[in-house]
Amino acid sequence: MNLDEINEQLFNLPKVELHCHLELAFRPSTMMEWAIEDGFKIKTKEDFAREFLILEPMADLPTVLNKFLHTRDRLSSLERIERLAFEACEDMYLKSNVRLLELRYAPSFTLDVFPYLGAENLHGAIMKGCVRAETMYPMAVGLICLLQRIKSHKENMYWCDFAIEHKGEFLAVDLADNEVDYPPKQFAPMFDKAKAAGLGITIHAGEPALPGSPNNILASIDYLHADRIGHGVQAIHDEKVIRRLVDEKIPLELCPTSNWLTQAVPDLASHPLKQLMDLGIKTTVNSDDPGVMGITLMDEYQIAHKTLGMSLDELKRCNAWAAEVSFIPQKKKDHVWKE
Ligand SMILES: [Zn+2]
C-alpha cells in the first residue's frame, strides 16, 4: 500500500473523539482573524504561531500559559464562541471523519475574563454551534463540564451544580489542571454529587512524568468514581495501576502529540499507546488541544499507525471502545455510528 492509500484508509475510518478542549480547539485561520481584529500585530502565519501555537515541546510553563491566555482572551463575544464551537465540530468531521464528538469546556476559564457573558449565554452559544454542526453533518456531539483544580471548593461546587442543572447537554464532568499539587481526594464531594445525579465522570490523571502521577489514576477511580481517565499515560510505569485499569475495564483517553508537547513522554516514538493496548487496557486516540497544537485527530491516527506501528484493525478496535465508552446516549449514537 502506498502512502496515499494508507492515508485514505485512515481517513475513511469513522472516528470517535473523546478528549478535546473546546477553548483550545479553534480553527487557526479564525483565531488569527480575531487576533488581528483585537490589535495583535500579526502579518504572517509565523507571527501567529509565535503568539498562539505550541508546536515544539514546551520549554517553560509561563510561555505555554501565555499562549492559552491569548486564546482565551479572544473569546470575548457570544458570536465568537458560537463560531468556535461550530468550527471545532465542522473541522472534526471534515478533516478527520469524526462521527461521535465529545467537547469539554470550563465555564470558569472564559467567565473569569468575560463575566458579562453570563454562564447561561456562554453555554447556550456553545450548544448552538454544536447543534448547527449536527444538523449539517452526520455527527453526534456532547459536552463535558470541566472543573479546574486551581479553583476553590465553593466555585467548583457551583459549576458542578451548573452541570447537573444542564444534564443532557452536559453528559459528564471532568477535573483538570495541576494534578500533582491538587490530588484527587479533596474533590470527592463534587464527584459524589455528579455521580448521584447520573453524570458520567472522566478525570485528568496520570498525565505528567512526575512522582505521584500514576497513583492519581487509582485515586481518581477510588475517590472520584472515574468512568474514564484523561491521559493516564504514566500508567505504563506502574504495574498496580495497569492491573486495575485492565481488571475494571477503565479506558484511557490518550493524546500522543499533546503528551509529547507537554513532555509527559520524551518523544513521540516512545509514546506507550500501543504497549498499553497490548497489555489489555482499553485505549482510545484523541487530540486534546487541536487548535493550539496545530494538529487534527487524523494526525494522531497517522502517528499511531506510522510512528507507533498500530495496524488499521487495532485503530478500529480503539474506535469501537471509544464508541462504547462515549457518554453520548445510545439512541443518539445509533444515528451516526454503525458497528
Ligand atoms: Zn486534556
| Per-residue pLDDT in tens (0 to 9) along the chain, 339 residues | 787 888 999 999 999 999 999 999 999 999 999 999 999 999 999 999 999 999 999 876 677 778 899 999 999 999 999 999 999 999 999 999 999 999 999 999 999 999 999 999 999 999 999 999 999 999 999 999 999 999 999 999 999 999 999 999 999 999 998 898 999 999 999 999 999 999 999 999 999 999 989 999 999 999 999 999 999 999 999 999 999 999 999 999 999 999 999 999 999 999 999 999 999 999 999 999 999 999 999 999 999 999 999 999 999 999 999 999 999 999 999 999 987
Phi, psi dihedrals of residue 15, rounded to the nearest 5°: -120, 160
66 Cα–ligand 1 center, Å: 17
- Give domain status of residue 295, yes or no: yes
For position 59, what pLDDT does the model report? 76
- Give domain status of residue 3, yes or no: no
> Is the pTM of the predicted complex or chain greater than 0.85?
yes
147 Cα–ligand 1 center, Å: 12
Residue 325 Ramachandran class (φ > 0 left, ψ -120 to 50 alpha, else beta) = alpha
77 Cα–ligand 1 center, Å: 24
231 Cα–ligand 1 center, Å: 7
259 Cα–ligand 1 center, Å: 10
1 Cα–ligand 1 center, Å: 34
Phi, psi dihedrals of residue 145, rounded to the nearest 5°: -90, 125
Of 121, 114, 115, 188, the C-alpha closest to 157 is 188
- Give domain status of residue 331, yes or no: no
131 Cα–ligand 1 center, Å: 23
2 Cα–ligand 1 center, Å: 34
145 Cα–ligand 1 center, Å: 12
- Give domain status of residue 62, yes or no: yes
332 Cα–ligand 1 center, Å: 24
Residue 93: Cβ within 10 Å count: 20
203 Cα–ligand 1 center, Å: 9
Ion ligand 1 neighbours (CB, 5 A) are: 288
For position 65, what pLDDT does the model report? 79
For position 136, what pLDDT does the model report? 98
Q: Which residues contact 34 (CB under 8 A, 6 or more apart)?
A: 74, 80
- Give domain status of residue 1, yes or no: no
Contact present, 224 and 187 (Cβ < 8 Å) = yes
Question: Which residues are bridge partners to 254 per DSSP?
Answer: 285
68 Cα–ligand 1 center, Å: 13
- Give domain status of residue 335, yes or no: no
- Give domain status of residue 306, yes or no: yes
253 Cα–ligand 1 center, Å: 9
23 Cα–ligand 1 center, Å: 11
For position 326, what pLDDT does the model report? 98
104 Cα–ligand 1 center, Å: 9
Domain of 295, CATH number, reads 3.20.20.140
36 Cα–ligand 1 center, Å: 27
Contact present, 154 and 128 (Cβ < 8 Å) = no
Of 321, 285, 290, the C-alpha closest to 304 is 285
Look up residue 236 and give its three cell numbers.
505504563
The DSSP call for residue 305 is I
30 Cα–ligand 1 center, Å: 22
Task: Round the CA-based radius of gyration of the chain to a whole number and report it.
Answer: 19
288 Cα–ligand 1 center, Å: 5
- Give domain status of residue 114, yes or no: yes
Give the number of domains in the chain: 1
For residue 158, give its domain range: 14-326
207 Cα–ligand 1 center, Å: 9
